[in-house]
Amino acid sequence: MSFPSYVTLVEVGARDGLQNEKEIIPTKVKIEFINQLSETGLSVIEATSFVSPKAIPQLADHAEVFMGISKKENVRYPVLIPNTLGLEQALALGIKEIAVFTSPSEQFNQHNIHCSVAESIERIKAVITLAKNHQLRIRGYLSCTLGCPYEGNIEPEKVTDLADKLFKEGCHEISLGDTIGVGTPETVKKLLESVLKKIPVENIAVHFHDTYGCALKNIYVALEYGISIIDSSVAGLGGCPYAPGATGNVATERVLYMLNDLGIKTGIDVDKLVHVGKFINQQLHGK
Ligand code: HMG
Ligand code: MG
């Protein structure tokens, strides 16, 4: 076990963060937010999602946002895709990278995407087939991997089995989501011990929410296992509208502070990032 020397932070604030805001954020604010994030040194910024506007009205302006942002050559802008309908819309805009999503929890899937785990895999297979035809990079998210608001405990083996399926289907990277932030260093260890038996460490990302203040400790454990891709959200924005109890994602600023202290490189300017955090807080909460 040794720390990675470089970590890629995947900034999810513009998608996972803004999808959970009560008010609809003006499109121009989203565009300005992503443009500012692009100047911080972040190399991956999840821009929006092409889900049903009935499910997530907050991101119904996905096309305008994706087309409106100034894309930097060295920054990737993945978008969340629920089905082939969403992917067709995204492809028409020249999207190069997508994220698909499901969960080992049957009940969470029913609430979030209105289908079973098995049905979600079929949907994802269809998305992956189309995405591969267009040489897209594909990330696979698994939600509620450390606990579910409807089913409670989730067995690590169940997560591993699903992660393995998505990886074999062609996802380049699997992000293990602690959607409601109930994970602890001990449960994270158990999950990683199980998943890393099947999937190479360089293909695993971790995605923590900070409900009980364990997110940084959990990330520390993941780093000890060599995980080098970490999802986070500037200003700790976020939550999932279909996961009662889900508070914000771990704040990018905090993760960066810890990584800098550990001497792990990220390429990100912490001062610029703090500035963007202040900007979005001002826009959302007037402070
Ligand atoms: P559905 O309503 O169950 O069924 O949608 P459907 O496929 O029959 O579609 C119904 C209607 O939606 C139809 O329109 C479709 O055309 C339309 P109508 O005939 O009623 O006028 N529709 C769409 N419209 C636009 N774009 C589309 C699309 N697809 C269908 N892509 C569906 C199923 C999955 C689409 C829907 O339930 C949905 O969009 N769910 C997404 C919910 C979501 O985004 N949740 C949050 C993201 S997951 C998350 O946050 C966790 C994560 O961050 C990790 C973590 O934090 O741990 C990833
Ligand atoms: Mg999240």
Chain-wide mean pLDDT for the chain?
Answer: 96
Residue 112 carries which side chain, given as an amino acid letter?
N
Query: Residue 162's closest CA among 180, 140, 178, 137?
Result: 140
Compute φ and ψ for 50, nearest 5 degrees.
-100, 50
- Tally the residues of the chain: 287
pTM, to two decimals? 0.97
The pLDDT tens digits of the residues spanning 133-162 come to 999 999 999 999 999 999 999 999 999 999
CATH of the domain at 182: 3.20.20.70
Where residue 286 falls among pLDDT bands split at 50, 70, 90?
confident
In a domain, 3, yes or no: no
Where residue 241 falls among pLDDT bands split at 50, 70, 90?
confident
Residues in the ligand 1 pocket, defined by CB under 6 Å? 16, 19, 49-56, 82-83, 85-86, 101, 112-114, 141, 143, 177, 179, 207, 240, 242
In a domain, 43, yes or no: yes
Q: In terms of residue numbers, what domain contains 56?
A: 8-285
The pLDDT tens digits of the residues spanning 189-219 come to 999 999 999 999 999 999 999 999 999 999 9
In a domain, 1, yes or no: no
Is residue 1 scored above 70 in pLDDT? Answer: no
pLDDT for the residue numbered 280: 95
In a domain, 279, yes or no: yes
In a domain, 238, yes or no: yes
- The domain tally of the chain equals 1
Active-site residue, 240 included: yes
**Which whole number is the average pLDDT over 65-84?**
98
- The sheet that has 44-45: what strands, in order across it? 44-45, 8-11, 229-232, 204-208, 173-178, 137-142, 97-102, 79-80, 48-49
Compute φ and ψ for 11, nearest 5 degrees.
-85, 115
pLDDT for the residue numbered 162: 98
Distance 129 CA to ligand 2 centre (A): 25
The pLDDT tens digits of the residues spanning 249-267 come to 999 999 999 999 999 999 9
Q: How far is CA 64 from the centre of its chain?
A: 21
Query: Tokens at residue 126, please?
Result: 């269809």
Query: Tokens at residue 213, please?
Result: 């203040």
In a domain, 156, yes or no: yes
The pLDDT tens digits of the residues spanning 14-60 come to 999 999 898 899 999 999 999 999 999 999 999 999 999 999 999 99
pLDDT for the residue numbered 179: 95
Query: Residue 162's closest CA among 149, 152, 177, 150?
Result: 177
pLDDT for the residue numbered 244: 77
Rounded to whole angstroms, the Cα distance separating 251 from 115 reads 31
pLDDT for the residue numbered 247: 80
- Atom in ligand 1 nearest the alpha carbon of residue 249: 56
In a domain, 2, yes or no: no
**Which whole number is the average pLDDT over 58-85?**
98
Q: How far is CA 151 from the centre of its chain?
A: 22
E strands along the chain, which residues? 8-11, 44-45, 48-49, 79-80, 97-102, 137-142, 173-178, 204-208, 229-232
